Amino acid sequence: MNLANRITLVRIFLVPVVMIFLLVKFDTLGAIKIGGVHITYSEFIAALIFIIAAVTDGLDGYIARSRKMVTNLGKFLDPLADKLLISAVLISLVEMQRLDAWVAVVIISREFAVTGLRLVAAAEGVVIAASKLGKWKTVFQIIAVASLILKNFPFETLGIPFAQIMVWIAVIMTIVSGVEYFMKNKKIIPIS
Q: For residues 145 and 169, what is the distance between their CA atoms, to the nearest angstrom?
A: 12
Q: What letters, b where the CB count within 10 A reaches 16 and e where it falls short, cover 32-57?
A: eeeeebebbebbbbbbebbbebbebb
- Taking only the tens place, the pLDDT of each residue in 105-156 is 999 999 999 888 988 887 888 878 778 998 899 899 999 999 999 999 989 9
For the CA atoms of 97, 103, 108, 113, the dihedral, rounded to the nearest 10 degrees, stands at 160
Give the pTM: 0.87
Q: Could you tell me the pLDDT band of residue 19, with boundaries at 50, 70 and 90?
A: very high
**Taking the mean position of all CA atoms in its chain, how far away is CA 41?**
22
